[in-house]
Amino acid sequence: MFVRKKWFLAAFGLFLLYAFSIYIYLFHGADTSIPDSLKGTSVDPMTFMDSKTLENSETYSKIRNFFFFISTPLEWLFFGMVLVSGLSKRLDRWGRDSWKRQFMQTGAYVFWLSLLMFVVFLPLSYLRYKISLSYGISTQVFSSWMKDNLIEFWVDYTMTAIVVIVLYWLIHKSPKRWWLFGWLLSIPFTIFVMFIQPVVIDPLYNEFYPLQDKELEEKILALAAKAEIPTDHVYEVNMSEKTNSLNAYVTGVGANSRIVLWDTTLSSLDDDEILFIMAHEMNHYVEKHIYLGIAGYLLLTLVGLWLTDKWMKRVIRKRGELYQLESMQKISSLPLFLLITSILLFAANPITNYVSRVQETRADQYALKMTDNPEAAVTSFQKLSESGLSQMNPPFLVKLFRNSHPSMLERIQLVKEYEKMQDK
């Protein structure tokens, strides 16, 4: 009991120290100013934001980044406490007492762990929601926000239960090679989820329909034809009831691949700006970034599952008594599995974000060549930054661990370099 109490105090103390360090870095240590040589140019937010919006963008970005950096370590603390407190062992026993079949026991365990996690982290989610409302980013009423949270809970639970039931069945059948067989099964599962995402999962949250502005649709389809992209429709999604932010994206694979525009984007950008955004998204299709992303994800999954196997066995062997774990084969080891995979995913962020930023840069370059309208590119970046209250020049750690896109400063600078090349 003394050892567990000591662990609780040490883990909580380390988390508080980490959170304090991140707070100091984001709010007082990191330099997010624009270089003096760029002040007064199109990169400078003072040229397109009023003083109040500029102040809000800095403060809101710092708050949002702070939540990002503490949320994942808070999950680690949660999983550790579930293990050390013996709650995981009790949930396992509860499932075995309630159900005869192993897959039902596993499903019940995943449900109670997921529900506990949902309840514990709901106040933090609510706080983020209220802050987003106060800064005018979110426009979503509470009932709609709560509905989305409940939908997300059931979608996540369903996916997690399927994966965990299969993985723990493999661990029972092949304790040494479960990670390899699990990875092989993850290939068709990942592709299947990507295939159904646009037509099954996404519509649970929002309403999708063909672009209503037919004149704009003709322009976009003409751009798609120029890019040799076979498509008949661009999809619009009703997001104005939930946010003031702007976005457009490519989703799905195969016959279900889609280019999607938020209605907030349509109402805030002019046709030239939208065509630039669309050309950017089309590049993801042309260069098959979605498929490259799937391949990269599967490669990381293979390495991650192998490392998880080695790490779990080592922890159980050396710290099994502290975490109240006797074997990796028991479902009570799931919090340790989730803890390790979460750590590995967080550690992989700099790699995955770097690859994504390279792809996004290539998409910007492609869009500039396709539209040859640098002015529309600059104003679209400015409006995206203003609507989302995002920093033009975020801190280094934010770029490293969070940003999947280049900073707006870098993107506008890319446009300026393109203009110089055209002038030569």
* 289 annotated ligand-binding residue: no
Please list the ranges in the chain whose pLDDT falls under 50: none
Please indicate, yes or no, if residue 246 is contained in any of the structural domains. Answer: yes
**Between helices 51-84 and 334-371, what is the axis angle to 10°?**
150
419 is catalytic: no
Distances in whole angstroms, Cα of residue 212 to Cα of each of 103, 111, 150, 204, 247 = 47, 41, 30, 21, 17
* pLDDT tens digits, one per residue of 232-258: 677 899 999 999 998 888 777 777 777
Residues forming a β-bridge with 4: none
Please indicate, yes or no, if residue 222 is contained in any of the structural domains. Answer: yes
286 within 8 A of 229, measured Cβ to Cβ: yes
Please indicate, yes or no, if residue 22 is contained in any of the structural domains. Answer: no
CA 222 to chain centre: 32
How far, in Å, CA of 278 to CA of 276, rounded? 5
pTM listed for this prediction = 0.91
**Number of neighbours of residue 26 by Cβ within 10 angstroms:** 22
* 217 annotated ligand-binding residue: no
Overall size of the chain counted in residues:
424
Please indicate, yes or no, if residue 85 is contained in any of the structural domains. Answer: yes
* pLDDT tens digits, one per residue of 161-170: 999 999 999 9
Provide the token pair at 191: 């592709």
417 is catalytic: no
pLDDT at 223: 87
pLDDT at 290: 85
125 within 8 A of 148, measured Cβ to Cβ: no
**Between helices 271-286 and 214-226, what is the axis angle to 10°?**
40
Please list, in sequence order, all residues whose beta carbon lies within 8 angstroms of the beta carbon of residue 38, skipping any fewer than 6 positions away. 44, 409
**Structural domain for 290, as ranges:** 52-424
Residue closest to 371 by CA, chosen among 298, 271, 290: 271
pLDDT at 1: 65
Catalytic residue (one of 281, 309, 386, 410): 281
* 360 annotated ligand-binding residue: yes
| Torsion sign, CA atoms 331, 335, 341, 344 | negative
Paired sense of beta strands 235-237 and 208-210, if any: antiparallel
Please indicate, yes or no, if residue 107 is contained in any of the structural domains. Answer: yes
How many domains is the chain built from? 1
Please indicate, yes or no, if residue 287 is contained in any of the structural domains. Answer: yes
Please indicate, yes or no, if residue 373 is contained in any of the structural domains. Answer: yes
Please indicate, yes or no, if residue 347 is contained in any of the structural domains. Answer: yes
pLDDT at 74: 96
Residue closest to 107 by CA, chosen among 117, 120, 94, 119: 94
Catalytic residue (one of 202, 236, 364, 386): 364
